[in-house]
A = this chain, B = another copy of it.
Amino acid sequence: MSAPAIVAVRDAFSRAPAPAHPIAIALLGLGQIGAAVARLVHEGHAPARLTTALVRDVTRTRPHCGPVDLTRDIERVFASRPDVIVEVLGGVEPARTFVRTALERGIPVVTANKTLIARHGEELLDVAVRTLTPFRYEASVLAGVPFLGTFAARPLAARVSKLVGIVNGTSNYVLSRATAGRVTIDEAMADAQRLGFAEPDPADDVNGIDAAHKLAVLAWHFGLGSLSPGELETRGLERLHPLDLAAAGDLGGSIKPVASIEHTSGRTSAFIGPAFVPGGHRLAGVTGVENALLLDTSSGRLFFSGPGAGPIPTAATILDDVVEASRGAAPVRRRGGSTAVIAPSTPWLLRVAGTQAGGEDIASFLGAYGIWVRRAHTRDGRTWRLTYACSRERIDAAVAALTAATACDALALRALED
């Protein structure tokens, strides 16, 4: 069982060419992504063949998959001597145990599982490095854009001080649709589901948890340290009103689902949530299901964008990882260690509604908290104010006091700098 892996390792270092035979893939999981991988392989889009698949129900018919040995027994998967194991079970267990065991036994692993990498990427990479076994997870973040593996092997380009991006295609589609159609988040989500841009249960897309896991993967991958997704400031789309989206447009920008992490002066700060993006910002043009990432590196600012997740682009990325894993490229150890993350100071977009207090009164109220207003916009009895940067503690305290004093309805969204 370890023979193919050993051959692959030798390939990399003896500079021998890749194996001439199709790469034997075993799939762990045959859900939407797994089925797309199987289909691309069956249709001949990759130099690979599918031998075995671990599934819950071996009796179900699997169209478009071609001949494959379906099993519920992980040992049978290992015994089939795959060149590469593709893990698309999702979630932590049993994926973690299966991937760890495969790597311990020298079988290369490709995964698209952001939750697994966010929680146990460091542990699994340590095993891969120790056993000299290829281990790739390109499809876990920006699944349609190849870049993670690139930076893993390029130490100068990977010196990143800041990452800000749109990493959840579903919520980006929902906000774009709600903005363009002047509809509610719920209505836009119904459209997304009808068009196949959202899962039947999109809770983790809407509440930011999917983005938090992806940001944790990025932080670890780019050497900003291991952080717990649960510790990140994570806001969802729930409290957004269609008028917020329209007001953002009136203020020359738009509201986008942003994930951001920055390392400055020895401190790491991060947030996830809908944020005001000024019209001139690179992320302003990223609409629909598209994903994008802006990286501040030691050589300058890089920007990558591409299609958001979807079974076929994700499966294509997984298969490219399979090709790379089969060539035996050695995994590269990453700087580890857990990192404490704080919430950053940023500008804010503050919506205030349902109060008779005048604009000057509110401005001086905010001023008493050290919050300064840059621009204001009124529409339908509500006012939106773009502030200069301040901490979350400060804006939260001001919002709480303002709400208590005037019984208004107030919401503070983060805003990106121009």
- Residue in B12, B40, B153, B306 whose CB lies within 8 Å of A301: B306
Q: In the complex, what distance in Å separates the CA atom of A81 from the CA atom of B157?
A: 27
Is the interface on chain A under 10, 10 to 19, 20 to 34, or 35 or more residues?
Answer: 35 or more
B331 close to A316 (CB less than 8 A) = no
A300 close to B307 (CB less than 8 A) = yes
14 contacts between A and B (CB under 8 A): A8-B155, A12-B153, A13-B332, A16-B132, A16-B330, A144-B299, A147-B150, A153-B323, A153-B327, A155-B320, A155-B323, A157-B320, A282-B285, A303-B303
Residues of B within 8 A of A320 (CB): 153-157
Take A17-B13, A155-B47 as given contacts and tell me if A307 and B313 are in contact as well, using a CB distance cutoff of 8 Å. Answer: no
Which 9 residue pairs across A and B have the least CB separation, nearest first? A300-B307, A15-B132, A154-B320, A14-B333, A15-B330, A299-B313, A156-B316, A302-B306, A150-B150
Residues of B within 8 A of A317 (CB): 156-157, 299
Chain A residues with a Cβ under 8 A of chain B: 8-9, 11-18, 40, 45-47, 129, 132-134, 144-147, 149-151, 153-157, 282, 285, 292, 298-307, 312-313, 316-317, 319-320, 323-324, 327-333, 335
Residues of B within 8 A of A153 (CB): 12, 320, 323-324, 327, 329
A324 close to B15 (CB less than 8 A) = no
- Residue in B298, B300, B305, B335 whose CB lies within 8 Å of A303: B305
Q: In the complex, what distance in Å separates the CA atom of A74 from the CA atom of B174?
A: 61
In angstroms, how far is the closest chain B Cβ from the Cβ of A332? 6
A299 close to B312 (CB less than 8 A) = yes
Q: In the complex, what distance in Å separates the CA atom of A327 from the CA atom of B330?
A: 8
Q: Among the interface residues A18, A150, A156, A332, which one has the most CB atoms of the partner chain B within 10 A?
A: A156
